[in-house]
Amino acid sequence: DVKVTQSSRYLVKRTGEKVFLECVQDMDHENMFWYRQDPGLGLRLIYFSYDVKMKEKGDIPEGYSVSREKKERFSLILESASTNQTSMYLCASTNLHRYTEAFFGQGTRLTVV
Amino acid sequence: GNSVTQMEGPVTLSEEAFLTINCTYTATGYPSLFWYVQYPGEGLQLLLKATKADDKGSNKGFEATYRKETTSFHLEKGSVQVSDSAVYFCALGVSFNAGNNRKLIWGLGTSLGVNP
């Protein structure tokens, strides 16, 4: 069974902390994505990566960075967490050669206090 | 540019009612179209897809037809169940560089509640 796994379901962090959200996929997919999901705003793309060590900014990259050192792992980093980064974070991956079907992790609910 | 406009919710129906959730898109080239579903407390999962004009995607009693002339991909189900209560997202698959890489453009989601 194909799988995208996010390291935490729920996370509570303090303002100013550096936060790491990890995502691992076991499908050998080239493309990986980080989204945040907020009520009324749908899914907003933060960053994506189409190859190891490659990254592209999405629609709302400010305050975030990413790392992709291995094909199966894509990390989202909040350099200095703020309360407006409280959200649901979703990781997804897709295969280069298929019709962009995306597989999602279960999501990480991050609360910054 | 590329965009997806999806019917606003929430939508509340009684069990066995007919469901339509409208989705229209703007795109260049030949996009793929998708419906994803998110059940409470979970990530998104693919419900159905269509990769070219006039294709019909179907799954679990849901259907959607890729209409290029009206740039639409409306989701329908003849008889909804309580277990269909979820958020439904329409999405467009488009190229983002000169190669074959693609990314998804998302609608805002439509929340569906079905009462027994």
Return the closest-CA partner of residue B49 out of A44, A107, A103.
Answer: A103
A25/B contact by beta carbon, under 8 A:
no
Q: Is B51 on the interface with A (CB under 8 A)?
A: yes
In the predicted structure, residue B9 carries a pLDDT above the cut 90: no
| pLDDT of chain A, 113 residues: tens digit per residue | 669 999 999 999 999 999 999 999 999 988 999 999 998 898 999 999 988 989 999 999 999 999 999 999 999 999 999 999 999 999 999 876 555 688 999 999 999 99
> How far does the CA of residue B82 sit from the closest CA of chain A (Å)?
22
Q: What's the gap in Å between the CA of B81 and the closest CA on chain A?
A: 23
pLDDT recorded at residue B102: 72
CB < 8 Å to A40, chain B: 108
Q: Residue B32's beta-bridge partner residues?
A: B93
Three-class DSSP labels, chain A: CCCEEECCCEEEECCCCCEEEEEEECCCCCEEEEEEEECCCEEEEEEEECCCCCCEECCCCCCEEEEEEECCEEEEEECCCCHHHCEEEEEEEECCCCCCCEEECCCEEEEEC
DSSP state of B94: E
Q: Note whether A107 contacts B45, CB cutoff 8 Å.
A: no
